[in-house]
Structure 1
Amino acid sequence: MKYDKPSLSFEQQADLLIRRGMVGDRALIIERLRAVGYYRLSAYWYPFRRANPAKPSLPFDDLIPGTTFDEVWCRYAFDRRLRLAVMDAIERIEVSLRALLATHHSQRHGLFAYATDSRSLPSIDSGKFAKYREDIIKEQARSKDPFVRHFNEKYGDSHSVLPLWMAAEVMAFGTLLTFHRGCDQDIRREVARPFGVHETVFASWLLALNTVRNICAHHGRLWNRDLGIKPKIPDKLSEWNTPVAVTGDRVFGILTICKWSLDRVAPQSGWSDRFRALLATSPTIPIVSMGFPANWQECPIWKCGAK
């Protein structure tokens, strides 16, 4: 089938929305379409499209009567603030991960083995190690950090890569996860220990957080998204199962991972209070669409530190 939808001006886009049932001030709709874009905003009015009984997975273009642009914009604005909150949490987890990996691996194998000795990363085969090393060299070459330039000027005649505690600061997150996966079990266990979970659980959390990090970095819709990932839940820890069973496939699971992790590696962050404030200022958001159970506040993880 040939795609033949025409390009519309912002004014035409607003008129189309109004014809389809959107209630709101036309000038404001045009202003916000200019600021955000029709296609991006369409994800937020999608739940307001009228159901199609013949094709439940393909609702009609017209909207449920009474749908207001203010409702749609409220969800868009909430999602933006949610992404910022999640990125704040992931940043703190990521910084801790970099410090833990750099310390434990360098103490076991030295400062440069991470990029020069494949035996220090026994879970990576030789072919993948070569690609990983190539990525490290490219990332270090791209870095504009003064400490990289200083090291290369002073020690570059003897070393082709940075010492690990510097390298950990310029590794892309994907490269960092490859490094983590390659470490032997003892190191992965030491890295997971401060987070209070088994290393296999923590490894699955990192993969899930990387997916969410990418969604946030590209300003994607997060709040009611099926993430397509299922980080492991530590079944042996009662806090995750009683009286609320936390699942990992929706945003609530990711938020609970963030809360659990920050309570342990950044207890001073105040992240939980800021997140609760976000929910309090967005009372019309149906958090059930984020995977929140009705009794989520009874979850021991969320009760911990609650004011």
Structure 2
Amino acid sequence: MPTPVKAYKTYDEQVDLLASRGMDIGDRDAAIQELQHINYYRLSGYWYAFRRQGTSGREDTFYAGTTFQDVVRLYTFDASLRTATFASLAPIELALRALIGHALGTLHECAHLEPKVLGPRASQGGSYATWIKRYKKSLADSKEDFVKHHQAKYAGTLPVWAAVEVLDWGALTYLYGFSPRHIQNDIADKFGLTAPQLESWMKSLNVVRNICAHHGRLFNKVHAIKPKLPAVGHLPEVDKARQEMNRTFGQLTLIQHMLRTLDVGRRQLLPAVLRTYPDVKLLPISHVGAPPQWAGSALWK
């Protein structure tokens, strides 16, 4: 017996369904045109919070005042936020590569290939063996000129300060975790963090980066990984978002702090985009996790 699936609906039928559930469609032709450019189910993530809250969860019907235009405005805002977030993460990722590669280079030119030179985590369990396979695949797949140079002159063996350039963020986080604790501490100290805290930030922001890279949703997002934070008072500006660390604004606060401490990137980019949050009465900016008076923080001015 074939597996049941939802019935196909034309654009007209999709619009009719939304209207029947209480959404104000406005210009019908314009709504159909938007649905031709943005998948119905992608947009559904933006009208989810407009759905009435029932005793057993969200209902199919919408709150009064829900408009198709507001849904599209939130989608457009989120696209801009996603682009700005990805751009803001880039200089942080590049700086972490440089810091980790340089620090490990002081131990051994190929510290990444010498688990005995790294910290105890590299010699425990199978995580390092899994990581080295992943590294070798990235190396084999790379088309970078510096990789070709090392293949021709050094039999493909990259020193650690070059090897970090073929790692993705996740693999870089693992390499940081494999590093000796004093190396981890020296790098974490640049952010006012402990080594476990920085590692947790890197893991959190890797998820955010992947959301951006795969056109995911940051608006109204609850993030599964909550970063470890220093004691209250150690980083006062980060403290202001302490209760929102599982929301997008909390994750963006980590980015703003790292940009400031590293003195890299465009720190005005994310604040500028957040200020474009559309005036949607039913869904204020708190649906990104931003607390009241968020713009008054030194990180966001």
Give the number of aligned pairs.
292
In the TM superposition, what are the counterparts of 1:123-272 in structure 2 within 5 Å? 123-124=121-122, 125=124, 127-156=126-155, 160-235=156-231, 236-237=233-234, 239-240=236-237, 244=240, 246-247=242-243, 248-267=245-264, 269-271=265-267
TM-score (norm 1): 0.88
Answer whether contact 2:99 2:187 (CA < 8 A) is retained: yes
Q: Deviations over 1:25-83 (max 9, x none)?
A: 2222222112120101001111112333x42x132x22223321110001101111111
Larger mean CA deviation between 273-282 and 227-236 belongs to 273-282
Answer whether contact 1:239 1:301 (CA < 8 A) is retained: no
Please, what is the CA RMSD of the aligned residues? Answer: 2.0
Say if 1:281 and 1:78 are closer, same or farther in 2 by CA, change over 3 A: same
Deviation at 1:16, TM superposition (A): 2.0
Amino acid at match of 1:279: L
TM-score (norm 2): 0.89
Question: Percent identity of the aligned residues?
Answer: 36
Q: 261, 272, 275: which is aligned to 1:280? A: 275
CA distance in 1 between counterparts of 2:90 and 2:97 reads: 11
Moved over 6 A (4+): none
Say if 1:216 and 1:145 are closer, same or farther in 2 by CA, change over 3 A: same
Say if 1:185 and 1:116 are closer, same or farther in 2 by CA, change over 3 A: closer
Say if 1:48 and 1:210 are closer, same or farther in 2 by CA, change over 3 A: same
Say if 1:181 and 1:151 are closer, same or farther in 2 by CA, change over 3 A: same
Instruction: Report which structure shows greater RCO (CA 8 Å, sep ≥6).
Output: 2
Q: 109, 112, 133: which is aligned to 2:110? A: 112
Q: Which residue of 1 aligns with 2:20?
A: 19
Gaps of 5+ in 2: none
1:58 aligns with 2:58: yes
Gaps of 5+ in 1: none
Deviation at 1:95, TM superposition (A): 0.6
Answer whether contact 1:259 1:301 (CA < 8 A) is retained: yes
CA distance in 2 between counterparts of 1:234 and 1:47 reads: 32
